[in-house]
A and B are shown apart, each in its own frame.
Chain A
Amino acid sequence: MFKTICPSCGGELVFRSKTTVLCVCTFCRSNVVRHDLDLELLGKQSELMPDMSPLQLGAIGKYKNKSFSIVGRQIMKWDDGRWNEWYIVFNDGNGAWLSEAQGEFAVFESSEEINIDLLSNVEKVNGLEIQGKVYGVVDQKNAICIGSEGELPFQVVKGYKTKNYDLSDGEEGFATLDYPEDDKPRLYVGKFVLLRDLQIIGLRAFEGWKTIGQK
């Protein structure tokens, strides 16, 4: 953990994960980018549009018997809606993504850069072989980041545009190919999960709704 003060407002700024590159200040919503010990300001964000997501920063949970905490989020928007990408950090310091779309959740544990040739091949054959399994493209859309909060492993700020491919192996396996406008494409491989299986403590509590696990 790395504690410092926001270069913009002087409020406390915490980098919980060693993988964190960008941190949005809780107080003044400045984008603070970390270069080792140097901090760089990258403008400010407006308040996030509220939503009914049951997740929030600071909540902790379990995946494959490993504890994680939710440290950041980016909100993505496309023509037909929006979704949340929650950045989670495991106890061992490794980061992963917990994506939340249309009330469904998926955890992407591995992510790797891929080269452009592979991407064009995915477009050509409408699929990809990942870890010996054939994944077919099930959806493809252009998305734009409309806001972020907390810690993120990239310099992703509002307005960041990306082309997004969803791939499925026909089982619970799920993969996303993310091709940002000005970056290299990345492949995220993961699985659909049920929120209750993540045993999350610190879910958002809404008046009139029982959180899961609550009797």
Chain B
Amino acid sequence: MAKNKNSVTKPVVKSFNCPHCGAVLTIKAVGLSVSVSCKSCHSLIDVNDPNYKILQVSAEKRKVVPVIPIGQRGVLGGNVYECIGFMERGELPYTWREYLLFNPYVGFTWLFEYDGHWSLVKRIRKLPQGRRNAQYYRGQTYKLFSHTAAQVLYVEGEFYWRVKVGETSTIEDYISPPFILSKEKANSEVIWTLGRYMEPERITKAFNLNPLTMPYEIGVGANQPSPTKQIFKTRFKISLIFAFICFIVFIYTNSRNKDSRVFSQIYNHSKPLEEFNTPSFEIAEDNRNLLIKVHSIVHNSWIYLDALLVNDESGKGIPLPIEVSYYVGSDWSEGSQNSSRMEFNVPKGTYHLNIKPFADGGKSEITYTLELINDVSLNGTFFFVLVLLFVAPAFSLFQSVYFESKRWGNSVEIPD
């Protein structure tokens, strides 16, 4: 017993003549392969049958050239695989190509290619749990992407079941990029597979293919991972961190803002309007902002205050001209009865305002409230920064949504 235990044997290869055309055919997965397609006449032959029964004579609906030739070996996921079978399936004009890969120690694996998008596919035994238009498998929810009928259109090489051109099955695809779960139903048998997206460059490299022969990548693959989704997530996280920092800074500075009203007065002037000085007031905070607010019940009229903030000691003036105008029609309005402007970096000290009031011709007198607030907290700045912070993530979110819309644009379902 225990023959050949440590010796290396030649791989078992089975050769025979095609019962239809006589061409010499070889089987690589001996004991596993059930049917083979004759490379010269395309008849499908039952390998399991001692007389090599013909399953289908010259089964060919159209000629397709596999990108990975039968017999080519490549390394995927650390395992060497030999491409032993190829078939095209689908419903014209929507077709995809399937490459059957074999390793005697690992078994069978598939490579699927649709519109230049590749997936490495394996049969799974644990069954997903069905939800409404979704499947739950190993902690992941897969959304229904397509529900189609597929026909075998072209076959080359050998297979571990009886393959037939023209045979149809229904296929449900569920996605959670980069993964794709597929349920295939043929006759009474249901087979579940799990695929993982593969960059075309990996296939080219793994099988040492000429990149020029690779099919063009068209649009977005069903289970192609979104490049922008990750960018969006990263950008969003970064923005969130900065927003938090800004918020802390904002809370801190806000807590230090005094918001002190340094001057407030109601004025009523009759025409003719004359220049006047307000009483002196104290600006206590050094080099902080100063807000000047004017409120006047103007109606289809305006007032204009040519105000100058004068330092009592130095006599230096800072101009603070301000206008209140409000016009209204039956279905429109313009301006407001409130007006304000801000001056930054006002040194502390004793000040007064020198005001030259102006008004339009209508009324014989004007009334207004004048208010000065020192060291105002600036909420607006915070919100402005916040908006700026999220421009980048919003842009990638938009890109990501666009990518997903392209992906789901390819989603198909056959009506029930």
**B2 and A204 contacting across the interface, CB-CB below 8 Å:** no
User: Which residues A123-142 have CB closer than 8 A to chain B?
Assistant: 138-139
**B105 and A26 contacting across the interface, CB-CB below 8 Å:** no
Residue interface bits B1-29, CB-to-A below 8 A is 1, else 0: 11111111111100000000000000011
* Cβ of B126 under 8 Å from chain A: yes
> Interface size (A, Cβ < 8 Å)?
42
The closest CB in chain A to the CB of B191 belongs to A138
Residue interface bits A82-105, CB-to-B below 8 A is 1, else 0: 101000000000000000001110
The 8 Å CB contact of B2, one of A57, A172, A196, A203, is A57
Please choose the segment from B30-38, B90-98, B205-213, B373-381 that sits at the chain A interface, where 4 or more of its residues have CB less than 8 A away.
B30-38
Q: Which residues from A are CB-within-8-Å of B108? A: 102-103
Q: Which residues from B are CB-within-8-Å of A26? A: 1, 3
User: Which residues A187-215 have CB closer than 8 A to chain B?
Assistant: 192, 195-196, 202-212
**B5 and A81 contacting across the interface, CB-CB below 8 Å:** no
**A80 and B34 contacting across the interface, CB-CB below 8 Å:** yes
Q: Which residues from A are CB-within-8-Å of B105? A: 54, 195-196, 203, 209, 211-212
Shortest beta-carbon distance from A56 to chain B in Å: 7
Residue interface bits A9-22, CB-to-B below 8 A is 1, else 0: 00000100000000
* Cβ of A77 under 8 Å from chain B: yes
**B11 and A208 contacting across the interface, CB-CB below 8 Å:** yes
* Cβ of A150 under 8 Å from chain B: yes
Q: Which residues from B are CB-within-8-Å of A53? A: 31, 104
* Cβ of B80 under 8 Å from chain A: yes
A28 to B8, CA, bound (A): 24
**B107 and A207 contacting across the interface, CB-CB below 8 Å:** no
Specify the main secondary structure of chain A where it touches its partner: loop
* Cβ of B340 under 8 Å from chain A: no
Q: How many A-B residue pairs have CB under 8 A?
A: 112
Q: Which of B5, B30, B34, B127 has the most CB of A within 10 A?
A: B5
> Interface size (B, Cβ < 8 Å)?
36
**B31 and A49 contacting across the interface, CB-CB below 8 Å:** yes
A170 to B10, CA, bound (A): 38
**A102 and B160 contacting across the interface, CB-CB below 8 Å:** yes
**A207 and B11 contacting across the interface, CB-CB below 8 Å:** yes
* Cβ of B161 under 8 Å from chain A: yes
Q: Which residues from B are CB-within-8-Å of A210? A: 80
A26 to B5, CA, bound (A): 14
Shortest beta-carbon distance from A189 to chain B in Å: 15
Q: Which residues from A are CB-within-8-Å of B416? A: none
The 8 Å CB contact of A174, one of B48, B123, B125, B190, is B125
Q: Which residues from A are CB-within-8-Å of B8? A: 205-207
**B11 and A202 contacting across the interface, CB-CB below 8 Å:** no
The closest CB in chain B to the CB of A105 belongs to B107
A52 to B189, CA, bound (A): 26
Binding site for B on A (CB under 8 A): 14, 26, 49-54, 56-59, 77, 80-82, 84, 102-104, 138-139, 150, 168, 170-172, 174, 192, 195-196, 202-212
Known: A103-B107, A209-B105. 4 other contacts (CB 8 A): A53-B104, A170-B127, A208-B11, A211-B105
Binding site for A on B (CB under 8 A): 1-12, 28-32, 34, 48, 80, 102-108, 123, 125-127, 160-162, 189-190
Q: 9 A-B contacts, Cβ less than 8 Å apart?
A: A58-B2, A80-B34, A103-B29, A103-B160, A170-B126, A170-B127, A202-B5, A202-B6, A209-B103
